[in-house]
Amino acid sequence: MGVVIDSPGHVVFRDLPAPPAQLEKGYYLVEMAAAPINPSDLMYIEGRYPASAPTAPGKLRVGGFEGTGIVRAAGGGDAKHSMVNHPVALWIPEGGTWAHQVVVPAHLVMELPKGVSLGLGSPWVNPLTALALVQKAQNHHDPMTGKSLKPVAVALTAAASSLGRMIIRLAAEKKSNLVVLGIVRKAEQCDQLRSLGCEHCFTTTDPAFDDQFREAAAHLNCTLCYDCVGGSLPGRILRLMPPGSTVVVYGSLDPQPTLDGLSPMDLLIHGKRIEGFHLHMFLEAIGKKDTAKLMTTARDKWAGPLATSINKRLPMDQVSNALEEYRRNMSAGKVLLTGPAMPPEELRQPPSAEAPAAQSTAPTQAHTSQPGSSS
Ligand SMILES: NC(=O)c1ccc[n+]([C@@H]2O[C@H](COP(=O)([O-])OP(=O)(O)OC[C@H]3O[C@@H](n4cnc5c(N)ncnc54)[C@H](OP(=O)(O)O)[C@@H]3O)[C@@H](O)[C@H]2O)c1
């Protein structure tokens, strides 16, 4: 069973073809426990994500790009038999984690960090992205002098998102050398973000936004912005930032598929730049060794600054309700779709306090974790 996108904007929970009786070498069969709903899932369902491109006739589009589960079978080779019954996190770039069972190549599967529950571990792209964006910001130099900045000031749109909160918590760590200028569209979110350590927070719907943000960006020498909203916001922000500034677009929450409001004069005369960031391409560019280092850091911080708040858990057959819940209040935390491998004891936990690490039937050294999130 799984969640199939049967037409743009419409999903249905239905039977899926059974997995092969004999797994191919290098593949795992994973029984799914939890998979979050992310902005990319909404775009996929609405038909405006790369994975939404036409597929082979008859091929089903199954929702979900990431999640967690328990390995039930291994095909050998890179898919090791010793992983059977172990909890894992997995990623399927073409979509497919909103299913009870999935067959995935070994390189898209990683053992769940110790101390992280199946629920808390299921949104794992955001923690890696937050770390990558923070490291990129820490290497940002003054565009006019080329000198290193102390501290680096970085503006962050949709700052109350799960990923935004992770970046804010990482910036609040000692020696981060980062100051975040949080940008949201709802004023009440600024209070929540200040309590996480984001001292400078701005609301785009406030008539004073342009003046306040321009002044703060100049004062703090903020020449880097991470934007995941798209539409007219990156152009608006770039116009307000000092000469030489860069806006890095890493999301497209605004359903308008293009960026507008960019001023050619800002690019031509004021040396401002706009560029994109995608985790997948970033990991390919840094290579396996640095990706492994990033994952190790992510594991260490998973239950701390990289923790995800979970708002609701609903079984996959309630996908329509789950999507509605998520759309209604995206900043309240993740809505998880749960599958058959979700342990009943974890389901009994209140969602915002996820259960301790998943127990595999194989021996593990799992220990208790508590999310450090605050939404
Ligand atoms: N490039 C990459 O590799 C990569 C990797 C991971 C995530 N991402 C992107 O990172 C972003 C955040 O993801 P997430 O999972 O952390 O999100 P999330 O927790 O689900 O929260 C979404 C946030 O977006 C805000 N929002 C939604 N529509 C908006 C709009 N039209 N204008 C302004 N704000 C809007 C919501 O604020 P309200 O409370 O105001 O609704 C909410 O705070 C997404 O765009 C996602 O696609 C990119």
Q: Atom 15, ligand 1: which residue's CA is nearest?
A: 38
What is the reported pLDDT for 303? 84
Domains in the chain with CATH codes:
2-123+308-347 (3.90.180.10), 138-279 (3.40.50.720)
Q: How many CB atoms lie within 10 A of CB 186?
A: 12
What is the reported pLDDT for 292? 86
* Ligand 1 binding pocket includes 160 (Cβ within 6 Å): yes
Ligand 1 centroid–CA 252 distance in Å is 8
Confidence of residue 362 (pLDDT cuts 50, 70, 90): very low
What is the reported pLDDT for 267? 94
As a whole-number percent, the residues of the chain with pLDDT over 70 amount to 93
- Per-residue pLDDT at 358 exceeds 70: no
The backbone region for 256, taken as left when phi is positive above 0, alpha when psi lies in -120 to 50, beta otherwise, is: beta
User: Can you tell me whether residue 265 is helix, strand or coil?
Assistant: helix
Ligand 1 centroid–CA 177 distance in Å is 24
**Closest ligand 1 atom to Cα of 123:** 15
Confidence of residue 367 (pLDDT cuts 50, 70, 90): very low
Pairing assessment for the beta strands 10-14 and 2-7 based on DSSP bridges? antiparallel
* Ligand 1 binding pocket includes 228 (Cβ within 6 Å): yes
**Closest ligand 1 atom to Cα of 40:** 47
Ligand 1 centroid–CA 158 distance in Å is 6
User: Can you tell me whether residue 314 is helix, strand or coil?
Assistant: strand
What is the arrangement of strands in the sheet containing 178-184, beginning at the earlier edge strand? 200-203, 178-184, 152-156, 224-227, 246-249, 273-276
- Per-residue pLDDT at 375 exceeds 50: no
DSSP 128-178: HHHHHHHHHHHT-B-TTT--B-SSEEEEESSTTSHHHHHHHHHHTSTT--E
What is the reported pLDDT for 357? 57
**Closest ligand 1 atom to Cα of 252:** 45
Confidence of residue 54 (pLDDT cuts 50, 70, 90): low
- Per-residue pLDDT at 252 exceeds 60: yes
What is the reported pLDDT for 360? 53
- Per-residue pLDDT at 113 exceeds 90: no
* Ligand 1 binding pocket includes 162 (Cβ within 6 Å): yes
* Ligand 1 binding pocket includes 331 (Cβ within 6 Å): yes
What is the reported pLDDT for 364? 34
Q: How many CB atoms lie within 10 A of CB 42?
A: 19
What is the reported pLDDT for 114? 79
Confidence of residue 302 (pLDDT cuts 50, 70, 90): confident
